[in-house]
Structure formats: structure tokens, C-alpha cells
Amino acid sequence: MIAVDSYALLLLLSILKYTIGKPKGVTVAKLQNDLFLRACKRLPVERTPIWIMRQAGRYLPEYRAVRQRYDFLTMCKTPELATEVTLQPIDLIGVDAAIIFSDILVIPEAMGMQFEMHEGIGPVFPHPIRSGNDADKLKKLDPTVDLKYVMDAVALTKKGLSGRVPLIGFSGSPWTLLSYMVEGQGSKTFSKVKFLIYNDPKLAHRLLDKIADAATAYLSALIEAGVNAVQIFDTWAGILSQDDFEEFSLGYIRKIISRIKKKEIPVILFAKGVHYQLNRLAGSGADVLGLDWTMNIGEVRKELGDKVSLQGNLDPAVLYAGHEKIKSEAKKILQAFGKGSGHIFNLGHGIPPDVRPESLKILVDFIKEESVSYHMDDNQHGEKSRV
Ligand code: CP3
């Protein structure tokens, strides 16, 4: 009981810390570290910026301490808690961007699907979509109402950051969201969603259209709420054939990007397992392509020139290795990309929950130091260090 009370007190103090002295309506301080945003636009940087997919998560004991007290959805839906865990990797690891703590599956939940997080399984929809009737029941999303808690978390997080680093908002791609909504949970075979696209493509397209509208409205609302960049996760892109990827995924991503593009906010597209037609991905309208670890970032850069920036792509499992191995593998990626701006260092997918935080800190510190030499030429003629 005492522990709970003292926790509540701490929480209250941290909320006060963010709000006191900052009258409502005052715009948040200018960014002190905009390396990530400059790299998204291929502008000169003094060093390569780094952030990590799933950086707010279970590998941090500080995250687990909060998670022990609240279930996952409560954390997502309580702006003070979402803010607290969003800020953890900024304070503890020193990454160059924050990503708002939430989940791609808050969209289907807000469209009316019951959502549960099962220990050892992950996210579950107990009533998955299996018919046109189920599709009709999905409600049209008004993110400023149905996902107001995320917008509030963005506003509170911006206050907590007070301009230290940019904040990233995100959405799942329509295809990846549809996969969860039809399968009901993660899957090895994706047989149910594949059954749908081959037996009732019309229904699949109707659903994808609805989800794309929701994702567009959601990302636009996040931008309005103050995020500095957005990322679209197409985690399950790689299970589709090339033609199906175009028809059931990329077409909808293009549509979303063309409709949310505004205010110079960079868009990052992370389509996992898509090795082919990089040019097509680069033509999606995204400013940055996230690469998984199976690609060679240097070769991708050669192929695409300076059409887009590249994000990635260290194998997350390298973080299980010793410190020297982590550094040598990270160096290989810096070398493969080579000199100049347009690289945002990240893993090729999310950080595993059983990685030691010290290993991530080693990686982040190494990139900050080692990458300087890859930007000397840019900066000789450019501006003096801003960070
Ligand atoms: O990156 C961040 O730190 C921001 C937060 C974030 C979460 N999920 C928090 C989370 C982000 C960006 C996501 C995205 C997400 N969620 C994706 C796309 C990225 C990817 O990894 O491919 C997907 C597919 C999901 C769906 C999802 N949510 C799964 C499959 C799981 C369970 C698997 C797992 O890692 O446990 C989740 C749960 C989840 N989302 C957790 C966190 C911190 C763990 C929940 C817990 O604390 O129990």
C-alpha cells in the first residue's frame, strides 16, 4: 500500500514537473538536438543520429517497474504513464529522438475491436474480422476523440522533452493492421488473411480502404498534436508476393503519405522483408526508408542515390554480443553507408526484451563518437556544430 502511495506521489510530482511554469498555449522550446530531423532531409549533420525501434520497452527495468503496476492498455491510455516511459530511453540511453509510447493496434481498438494483451502470446483480438458483417461494424475513426489519449500523451511528452530531441509518432500500415485484425493475433502462416485476399479480394480492399482512412486521420492528428516526424510500420510486408505487396500494401501506404504530407514533417517507411523494388519504396513519397538487417545499407544507398534517407539496420541480435563485437558490427554499418548525411542509425527491427540496457548504451555512445568522421567533409563548408 505504501509502495503504491509513494508511486502515486512520484507520478504526481513528475506531472507537476512538466506542467508548472509552462503556461498553456506557449509553444514548446526550439529543438536543441535536431540531428535526426536534418538527417531525414539529408541536410548536413555533425554526426549520425541514432534512435531505436521499441526503445521504450521491456529491456529497461524502469519500464518493467511501471508495467508491473499497470496493464499495457492502461499505460497506453494514461498520458502521464505513456509520457513517463517515452522519456525513459532519452534520459537513460541518450538517443536522438523519442517515439511516443503506444502501439500500432490502438487503431483497430479505437475502431471498436476488443483488444487484449496476453502474457507470452502478445496482442489478441478475441473477435477477429471474418466477414463483411464484421467489417461493417468497424466504426469510422475520429482520432481527436477516439484516440484523444494519444494526442494528450504527445502534448505532455513535448512538455517533458522541452525541446531536447524530436518526437516521432507512428502508425501500422493498413496491410499489417489488417493481418492482426483478421488473424486475431500474431501468426506464423498468415493463413486467414491470405485466405481473405485470395477468396474475397473485394472485402480485403474494402477493409484496407477503411483502415487507410483511419491511419491517415490518425497520423494527421498526431502531426497536429505536435510530433516532428511519423513512421509507418509495415512489419508484415515480407509475407506478400511482389504483386500482392503492390496491390494490398504499398498502394495504400502511398495513398496515406500523399494525404498526410504537410508541414515538412518527415515520413519514415519501415517495410520489413521487402528486398525487391527498392525504387518503388523510394517512390512512395516517404522521406526515409527503414531497412531490416538483411540488406546491405551501402548497396541500397548506391541503388537509390539521394532520393531518400536510410534508417537502420543493425541486426537486433548483435546486442546479445560482447561490447567489442557490438562496436565492430556497428562500425561495419557506418562504413557501408559511407560519408555524408542521410543516415539515421537504428536496428533492423525492434530491440528484443532480453537485451541488457548497458549493451544499448554502448552502441549509442559508440555511434555518437565514431560517426563524427563520416560528416567532416559536409561540415568543413557548412555551419559550425549546432549540437
Ligand atoms: O518503439 C517504441 O518504443 C514505441 C512503442 C511501440 C510499441 N509497439 C510498444 C509495445 C511501437 C512503435 C510498437 C509498434 C508495434 N506494435 C509493431 C510494429 C513494430 C514491430 O515491432 O514490428 C507491432 C507489430 C506491434 C504489435 C505488438 N505490440 C506486438 C506484436 C506486441 C507483442 C510482442 C512483444 O514485443 O511483446 C506488442 C506489445 C508491445 N508494444 C509492448 C510494447 C512495449 C510490450 C508489451 C508489454 O509491456 O507487455
Contact 245, 19 (CB under 8 A): no
Ligand 1 and 76: CB distance under 6 A: no
Q: Is residue 18 part of a domain?
A: no
Q: What is the mean pLDDT of residues 260-264?
A: 78
Residue 102 CA to ligand 1 centre (angstroms): 8
Give the single-character DSSP code of 249.
I
Q: Which residue type sits at 136?
A: D
* HSE-up of residue 192 (Cα within 13 Å, Cβ side): 15
Domain of 209, CATH number, reads 3.20.20.210
Least confident of 21-25, 116-120, 338-342: 21-25
Q: Is residue 12 part of a domain?
A: no
Residue 271 CA to ligand 1 centre (angstroms): 16
Cell numbers linked to 29: 522550446
Residue whose CA lies nearest to ligand 1 atom number 17: 104
Q: What percent of the chain has pLDDT over 70?
A: 90
Residue 116 CA to ligand 1 centre (angstroms): 13
The secondary structure of the chain in percent helix, strand, coil, rounded to multiples of 5, reads: 55, 10, 35
Please give the tally of structural domains in the chain: 1
* pLDDT category of residue 24 using cuts at 50, 70 and 90: very low
Q: What is the mean pLDDT of residues 153-181?
A: 98
Q: Is residue 283 part of a domain?
A: yes
- For residue 375, pLDDT beyond 90: yes
Ligand 1 and 56: CB distance under 6 A: yes
Q: What is the mean pLDDT of residues 140-158?
A: 98
Contact 240, 173 (CB under 8 A): no
pLDDT computed for residue 56 by the predictor? 96
pLDDT computed for residue 119 by the predictor? 87
- For residue 319, pLDDT beyond 50: yes
Contact 240, 248 (CB under 8 A): yes
| DSSP secondary structure of 250-315 | IHHHHHHHHHH--TT--EEEEETT--S-HHHHHTTS-SEEE--TTS-HHHHHHHHTTSSEEEEEE-
- For residue 241, pLDDT beyond 70: yes
Ligand 1 and 348: CB distance under 6 A: no
- For residue 266, pLDDT beyond 90: yes
Residue 122 CA to ligand 1 centre (angstroms): 9
pLDDT tens track for 219-236: 999 999 999 999 999 999
- For residue 308, pLDDT beyond 80: yes
Question: Closest Cα partner for 215 from 175, 155, 268?
Answer: 175
Q: Is residue 245 part of a domain?
A: yes
- For residue 167, pLDDT beyond 50: yes
CB atoms under 10 Å from CB of 127, counted, come to: 12
Q: Is residue 17 part of a domain?
A: no
Cell numbers linked to 301: 544507398
Nearest-atom index, ligand 1, CA of 105 = 26
* pLDDT category of residue 288 using cuts at 50, 70 and 90: very high
Q: Is residue 197 part of a domain?
A: yes
* pLDDT category of residue 358 using cuts at 50, 70 and 90: very high
Question: Closest Cα partner for 286 from 256, 313, 316?
Answer: 256
Host domain of residue 359: 31-381
Residue whose CA lies nearest to ligand 1 atom number 33: 122
- How far, in whole angstroms, is CA 275 from its chain's centroid? 20
pLDDT tens track for 47-83: 999 999 999 999 999 999 999 999 999 999 999 999 9
Q: Is residue 11 part of a domain?
A: no
Q: Are strands 167-172 and 122-124 parallel, antiparallel or unpaired?
A: unpaired
Nearest-atom index, ligand 1, CA of 67 = 47
Residue whose CA lies nearest to ligand 1 atom number 41: 57
The residues assigned a catalytic role are 54, 58, 67, 103, 180
Contact 181, 128 (CB under 8 A): yes
Q: Is residue 282 part of a domain?
A: yes
